[in-house]
């Protein structure tokens, strides 16, 4: 196959679109870890639940945009219940306890989706308004994948504005650094952690409904995605939101480019990337040394 500059450019954009989903997933994972120091092994399951709920709402209403707004709210609400009644009692007992709990919760959610929607999953399709392709000057590219890039940019910007430009965002950042001092100042730190966990899960649910038209929706889809999201999180640096976005796009581009030159090695390439980054910078590209300690 002739590798032309146009083909390389299109593959690069494809990698950015794929990386957009990776970035969203890692963003929610890093938000929860960075603020709560909780390794959420149920993150992939929340992604999967988001995909199912999104398709269910689309089937009820026939409106993709309604589903896109409502699904993160529902998944975020599930996250709030999870933090309040399951994760919160484990704070202060070591990082292993919530890790094991969320690992078990992921299988509970998988079995729940199997019971509700069947083991074969649900069919998905691209929304009518986003079907077709547009001419980028280097070739035609699917509208929906361009939409993924734009949607990710909007979510990242909104999260940044929330954390950096609002009073509640300041409280969240302060609580992640020293919860005891915040409590002394009269801030209900438990409510802050509750909100952070809910937002992280809502982002996972949003990732699921956005990714549904691009992949098979089945109860096991979150297992594979969880491994990929942890690769992105480790490459970017545990707890780093900037790292999650940069590493997500980087992993997507590496996967897409490897798919072009050596398709059989595409899955392996992202793990090779992680190994190289960890050898050169053990804390990740934007992570802080000793954060897991």
Block residue for tokens 């007992």: 93
Tokens linked to 133: 């392709």
Domain assignment present for 274 = no
Q: How is residue 12 written in tokens?
A: 């690069």
Q: Tell me, what's the pLDDT at 175?
A: 73
Residue 282 forms part of a structural domain: no
Residue 49 lies in a domain: yes
Specify the pLDDT at position 275: 95
Residue 22 counted as domain residue: yes
Residue 268 located in a structural domain: no
Query: What's residue 281's pLDDT?
Result: 93
- 253 within domain boundaries: no
Total count of domains within the chain = 1
pLDDT at 289: 65
Q: What Å distances lie between residue 208 and 152, 215, 217, CA to CA? A: 12, 10, 9
Long-range contacts of 175-179 (CB under 8 A, 24+ apart): 175/35, 176/34, 176/35, 176/36
Q: Please check whether residue 102 is in contact with residue 87, taking contact to mean a CB–CB distance below 8 angstroms.
A: yes
pLDDT at 291: 54
Give residue 167's domain range: 13-221
Q: Is residue 54 part of a domain?
A: yes
Asked if the structure places residue 271 within a domain, the reply is: no
pLDDT at 94: 83
Contact 206, 154 (CB under 8 A): no
Taking the whole predicted model, whether its pTM rises above 0.85 is answered as: yes
Q: For the chain, which ranges sit under pLDDT 70?
A: 1, 176-177, 179, 289-293
For the chain, the straight-line distance linking the first and the last C-alpha, in angstroms and rounded, comes to 49
């Amino acid at each position: 196959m002739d590798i032309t500059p146009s083909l390389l450019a299109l593959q690069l954009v494809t990698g950015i679109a794929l990386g957009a989903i990776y970035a969203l997933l890692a963003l929610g994972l890093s938000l929860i870890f960075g603020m709560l120091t909780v390794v959420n092994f149920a993150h992939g399951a929340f992604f999967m639940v988001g995909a199912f709920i999104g398709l269910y709402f689309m089937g009820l209403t026939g409106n993709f945009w309604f589903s896109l707004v409502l699904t993160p709210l529902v998944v975020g609400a599930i996250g709030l219940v999870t933090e309040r009644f399951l994760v919160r009692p484990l704070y202060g007992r070591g990082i292993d306890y919530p890790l094991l709990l969320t690992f078990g919760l992921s299988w509970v959610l998988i079995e729940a989706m199997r019971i509700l929607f069947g083991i074969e999953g649900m069919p998905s399709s691209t929304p009518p308004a986003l079907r077709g392709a547009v001419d980028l000057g280097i070739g035609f590219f699917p509208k929906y994948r361009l939409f993924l890039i734009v949607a990710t940019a909007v979510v990242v910007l909104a999260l940044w504005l929330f954390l950096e430009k609002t009073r509640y965002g300041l409280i969240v950042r302060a609580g992640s650094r020293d919860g005891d001092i915040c409590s002394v100042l009269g801030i209900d730190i438990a409510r802050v952690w509750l909100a952070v966990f809910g937002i992280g899960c809502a982002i996972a649910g949003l990732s699921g409904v956005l990714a549904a038209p691009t992949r098979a929706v089945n109860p096991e889809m979150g297992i594979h995605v969880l491994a990929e999201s942890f690769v992105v999180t480790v490459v970017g640096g545990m707890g780093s939101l900037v790292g999650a976005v940069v590493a997500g796009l980087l992993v997507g581009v590496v996967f897409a480019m490897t798919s072009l030159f050596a398709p059989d090695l595409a899955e392996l390439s992202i793990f090779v990337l992680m190994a190289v980054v960890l050898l050169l910078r053990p804390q990740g590209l934007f992570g802080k040394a000793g954060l897991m300690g």
